[in-house]
Amino acid sequence: MTKLQIFLDIATEAALAAGVVLQDYFGKLEDAITEKGRPGDLVTVADKASEKVILEVLRRHVPEHSILAEESGKLGNQDNEYLWAIDPLDGTTNYAHQYPCFAVSIGLLINGVPQVGVIYDPFHDELFRAAAGLGATRNRRPIRVSKTSELSKSLLTTGFAYDRRETSDNNYAEFCHLTHLTQGVRRGGSASLDLAYVACGRVDAYWERGLAPWDIAAGVILLQEAGGKVSAYERTPFKIESGRILATNGHLHDSLSQALAQVPPLSAWQ
């Protein structure tokens, strides 16, 4: 087994264990929900319990690796070439409302580049896995992006960051503009599943701003291994620390980038 295969199996073990935790807490939170600062930025006991299980698995297998976790922050030696980016519950707001669109997302960056990714949706029991050079799968079967090549025939997905109430750079105008140019734009509320759905061809492309590395590290390598393309909005190289991503089936990449560049100001929609 290659190192990446071993790391993929470790991430899978951690994601599946965390999924059991999320299933156990689902619908049983009652008042165990708080806000982390911004309105709507929720955290629950399930987030913390899921992350604890993931950290236990990683520390058992790869104690020397560094970690960036949504709830615990930076752990270990951050100069290590191996960095695990963990979202123990991507879609916390959905989860808190018992809306079935949430996932565990575990990505491994090597020298800053996503190389391993596992996304697990415990509600639908869908396991997405990928590693550089090893392909992408859903429930152990290979997946590929769609072949849609015209924006007018596409179905897109996006999201809105927690700071959307505080900034004009909030993705509202982009959402309106692209809704008019396509067959529809979905907003699921889980960035990792958005990327997974592009990777398996359920939607054709995804864009969003205000993202953290743990939101997208796993999904980036999944999409790339499924034949998709990832970049900045303007088609320059993707930088995970930027918080912005344009992710497509490849066929729509240029046209979607151009459409984003032509978005009218939000005032035009009011």
Tens of pLDDT, residue by residue over 90-134, are: 999 999 999 999 999 999 999 999 999 999 999 999 999 999 999
Spell out the residues 6+ positions from residue 202 whose beta carbon is closer than 8 angstroms to its own.
none
User: What is the average pLDDT across 156-166?
Assistant: 82
Q: Cα torsion at 102, 245, 250, 263 (round to 10°)?
A: 110
Contact by Cβ (8 Å): 257, 246: yes
List domains and CATH numbers for the chain.
3-142 (3.30.540.10), 151-263 (3.40.190.80)
Query: Does 89 show up as a binding residue in the annotation?
Result: yes
- Mean pLDDT, the chain, integer: 93
Burial string for 201-231 (b: 16+ CB within 10 Å, else e) reads: bbbbbbbbbbbbbbbbbbbbbbbbbbbbbbb
Query: Does 30 show up as a binding residue in the annotation?
Result: no
Quick check: 79 pLDDT over 70? yes
Residue 97 dihedral angles phi and psi, to the nearest 5°? -95, 5
Contact by Cβ (8 Å): 89, 47: yes
The overall pTM is greater than 0.85 = yes
Q: At what angle do helices 172-181 and 253-261 cross, to 10 degrees?
A: 130
Beta-sheet pairing, 205-208 with 156-158 = parallel
Give, as one character, the DSSP assignment of residue 38.
S
